[in-house]
């Protein structure tokens, strides 16, 4: 996948979530124990982390960069990127957009052979782009469920992410429903539920 895919996923997410700027972002995000606010921070944090991992001239393939991180509450996500709730939901979405732009820029600049660490295996620019797309598509769905918003991302974006990170996933089913299944969020007729899952970021 490529930087345009990252930018498109983030733009679609923000367009959808902007419809609930005055909603209650402290409700749970779909099936998660995180709130909608925390889940949006997690999306931004992932995009930032992937960009940071891939940015150095010679990234480590054995460990994450050692940014500080914390849990704001015991059941919340561990994050480096936080947004002051007093700034409001528009500020949260601005941070999400900025972190998406960072990842797109780093993916654009990275040579295709550059590898960097991820705990699911060292990956290259296309892999980190796909990871960013999956995080945005799936977690936007979590937030949309919590805020009662419609959300169905484009089939080709879902298919691209599946092909890059979930090569074992079926290709004769609806790409969006397959991505939700591959990430343990829904059932897929004729296939076993994914109660434990991980993607494969290794270059082809």
Domains: count for the chain: 1
Write out the DSSP string of 77-123.
Answer: PEES----GGG-HHHHHHHHHHHHHHHHHHHHHS-TT--B--TT--B
Q: Give the pair of three-digit tokens for residue 132.
A: 């960013």
User: Is 204 part of a structural domain of the chain?
Assistant: no
pLDDT of residue 76 exceeding 90, the answer is yes
Q: Is 186 helix (H, G, I), strand (E, B) or coil?
A: coil
Residue range(s) defining the domain that contains residue 141: 3-61+70-182
Residue 124 covered by a domain: yes
Question: Does 114 fall in a domain?
Answer: yes
Nearest to 137 by CA among 194, 79, 176, 184: 176
For residue 18, the model assigns a pLDDT of: 98
Give tens-digit pLDDT for 33-63: 999 999 999 999 999 999 999 999 999 999 9
Calculate the average pLDDT of the chain: 96
Read off the pLDDT band of 198 (50, 70, 90): very high
For residue 196, tell me if it sits in a domain: no
Cβ–Cβ < 8 Å for 45, 37: no
User: What pTM was computed for the model?
Assistant: 0.97
**Residue 72: is its pLDDT beyond 90?**
yes
**Is 155 within the bounds of a domain?**
yes
C-beta of residue 45 within 8 angstroms of C-beta of residue 99 = yes
Count Cβ neighbours within 10 Å for each residue of 19-48 and write b for 16 or more, e otherwise: ebeebebeebbbebebbbbbbbbbbbbbbb
Average pLDDT over residues 150-162: 98
Res 204: pLDDT = 78
Q: Say which CATH number the domain at 168 has.
A: 1.20.120
Crossing angle for the helix pair 175-182 and 125-147, to the nearest 10 degrees: 90
Q: Taking 90 as the threshold, does the pLDDT of residue 196 lie above it?
A: no
Alpha-carbon dihedral sign for residues 32, 168, 48, 143: negative
In a domain? residue 140: yes
192 part of a folded domain = no
113-139: average pLDDT: 97
User: 53: which 2 tokens?
Assistant: 């991992």
pLDDT band for 195, please (50, 70, 90 cuts).
confident
């Amino acid at each position: 996948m490529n930087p345009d895919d990252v930018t498109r996923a983030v733009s679609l997410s923000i367009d959808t979530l902007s419809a609930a700027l005055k909603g209650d972002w402290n409700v749970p995000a779909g099936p998660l124990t995180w709130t909608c606010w925390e889940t949006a921070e997690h999306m931004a944090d992932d995009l930032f982390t992937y960009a940071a991992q891939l940015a150095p001239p010679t990234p480590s393939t054995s460990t994450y960069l050692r940014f500080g991180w914390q849990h704001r509450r015991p059941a919340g996500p561990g994050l480096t990127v936080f947004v002051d709730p007093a700034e409001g939901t528009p500020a949260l979405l601005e941070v999400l957009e900025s972190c998406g732009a960072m990842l797109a820029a780093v993916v654009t600049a990275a040579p295709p052979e550059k590898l960097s660490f991820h705990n699911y295996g060292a990956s290259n620019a296309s892999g980190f782009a796909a990871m960013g797309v999956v995080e945005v598509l799936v977690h936007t769905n979590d937030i949309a469920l919590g805020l009662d918003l419609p959300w169905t991302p484009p089939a080709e974006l879902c298919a691209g992410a599946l092909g890059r990170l979930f090569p074992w996933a079926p290709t004769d089913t609806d790409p969006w429903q397959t991505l939700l299944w591959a990430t343990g969020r829904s059932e897929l007729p004729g296939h076993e539920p994914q109660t434990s899952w991980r993607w494969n970021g290794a270059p082809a």
